[in-house]
Amino acid sequence: MLRTRLAGDAASRQSADLIHQAGEQAAGLTRQLLAFSRKQLLQPKVIDLNRIVTNLHRLLQRIIGEHIEIQTAPEASPACVKADPGQIEQVIVNLGVNARDAMPRGGRLMIRTVNIELGPGEPVGELAVGAYIALEVTDSGEGMDEETKKRIFEPFFTTKGPGKGTGLGLATVYGIVRQSHGGIEVESEKGKGSTFRILLPRVDEVVDMPDTVAVAAPRVAGGETILIVEDEEIVRELVCEILRADGYRVLATDRGSEAARLAGQEKGRIDLLISDVVMPEMNGGEVARCVREVAPRVRVLFVSGYSENDMADQGLEALAFQVLQKPFTPSVLAAKVREVLQGDGPTFPKSV
């Protein structure tokens, strides 16, 4: 938002750009840590890994460099799994970058998908017997000795020199795969390259990943009244500023009890409750119940940086609710608010 306001001031805009870049780097590091600890809020869809691999080919070539030949060999039949497409793309990119670093003088990178049946006596981690899609990433690089292989998924473990890696690339891959109910194994010998083999449960549902990237919808202004409950002042003020700029009437508080009082005072004029999930006084679910006691038709949008399991621990496991994951941009918040407001009805049950 600051960068937009400073569009005509080149010197100040450059400083704002540096702040933005530092923030993105910090957010990226946090996402990697969340992925390793399997605490990310995923958005799983039925996707065809063949499409993911094919679509990433050109991007990987730019990232990895022309000195490495990239080959892809998608399975002839659909390779469908249920996973977060963005996270699976991150897995492939991380493995590609890892392979690049193992081939400083060039080489070959092969990415392929294979339909397999995992039978008794063929364990990969804790995976059960059944149908899987194997995503294999093979490089012709330096390879690893047994001691290195044992530690490659440890967070912050790296064989690279200072300043050349965080040691979170493969740890992130491991976390994403495990959170996607999959397994991963590695084959490597010193001087003979490496193969990372990821197994994800195969599904036979219709793929709901579009062939083209959707264009972000323009921001739509509204005149509804929105009640925001968020204990982090920075986040609360940012959300208020974004929504007020879009024409909404905004009420805000950091406590659930105050939210219920404001809802009663407004006498049914609140159209949407935006609430954090984990807060000191009462959690988001409890706040929503209190507000709906005095405003039964209010719609609810939870904002959270926690995983589905953590939200379940807050009593939200079986509820029908909408969630916006932190961090988010002003345009993403605005679009989600309109989506909830224009829905068919309340997005939170009156009773459980």
The domain locations on the chain are 31-201, 225-341
- Token digits of residue 93: 């990119």
Taking domain 31-201, whether its CATH number is 3.40.50.150 is answered by: no
Q: What is the pLDDT of residues 176-199, one digit of tens each?
A: 898 888 999 999 999 899 999 999
Q: Is the pLDDT of residue 340 over 80?
A: yes
Q: Give the Cα separation of 179 and 203 in Å (integer).
A: 17
For residues 70-95, average pLDDT: 90
Question: What pairs with residue 184 in β-bridges?
Answer: 198
In 172-261, at which residue ranges do the beta strands (DSSP E only) sit? 183-188, 194-201, 225-229, 249-253
Residue type, 179: Q
DSSP β-ladder status, 130-139 and 194-201: antiparallel
Q: If you ran DSSP here, which 8-state letter would residue 218 be given?
A: P
**40-54, 156-170, 192-206: range with lowest mean pLDDT:** 156-170
DSSP code string of 293-311: HH-TT-EEEEEESS-HHHH
Question: What pairs with residue 113 in β-bridges?
Answer: 135
**How many C-beta atoms surround the C-beta of residue 147 within 10 A?**
7
Residue 335 phi, psi (nearest 5): -65, -40
Q: At the topology level of CATH, where does 225-341 sit?
A: Rossmann fold (3.40.50)
SS3 299: strand
Q: Is the pLDDT of residue 28 over 70?
A: no
Helical segments of 37-167, H only: 49-64, 85-101, 146-151
Stronger pLDDT, 28 or 105, i.e. the higher one: 105
Tell whether omega for the bond before 327 is within 30 degrees of 0, i.e. cis: yes
Q: Give the Cα separation of 294 and 296 in Å (integer).
A: 6
Q: If you ran DSSP here, which 8-state letter would residue 37 be given?
A: T
∠ CA 167-188-153, nearest 5°, is 25
pLDDT value at residue 214: 39
User: Are 219 and 331 in contact, with CB atoms under 8 Å apart?
Assistant: yes
Taking the alpha carbons of 142, 143, 147, 152 in that order, is the dihedral positive or negative? Answer: positive
Band of pLDDT at residue 58, cut at 50, 70 and 90: confident
**240-244, 273-277, 314-318, 340-344: range with lowest mean pLDDT:** 314-318
User: Are 75 and 114 in contact, with CB atoms under 8 Å apart?
Assistant: yes
Query: Using N-to-C axis directions, what is the helix angle for 169-179 and 10-36, rounded to 10°?
Result: 60
Q: What is the pLDDT of residues 120-142, one digit of tens each?
A: 877 676 788 889 999 999 999 99
Radius of gyration for the chain, computed over Cα atoms and rounded to the nearest angstrom:
23
Band of pLDDT at residue 279, cut at 50, 70 and 90: confident
∠ CA 216-80-332, nearest 5°, is 20
For residues 8-27, average pLDDT: 83
Q: Is the pLDDT of residue 80 over 90?
A: yes
pLDDT value at residue 121: 73
∠ CA 336-339-344, nearest 5°, is 145
Question: pTM to 2 decimals?
Answer: 0.56
pLDDT value at residue 218: 55
SS3 345: coil
Which residue from 245, 211, 231, 213 is spatially nearest to 337, judged by alpha carbons?
245
Q: Is the pLDDT of residue 162 over 70?
A: no
- Token digits of residue 231: 């204990």
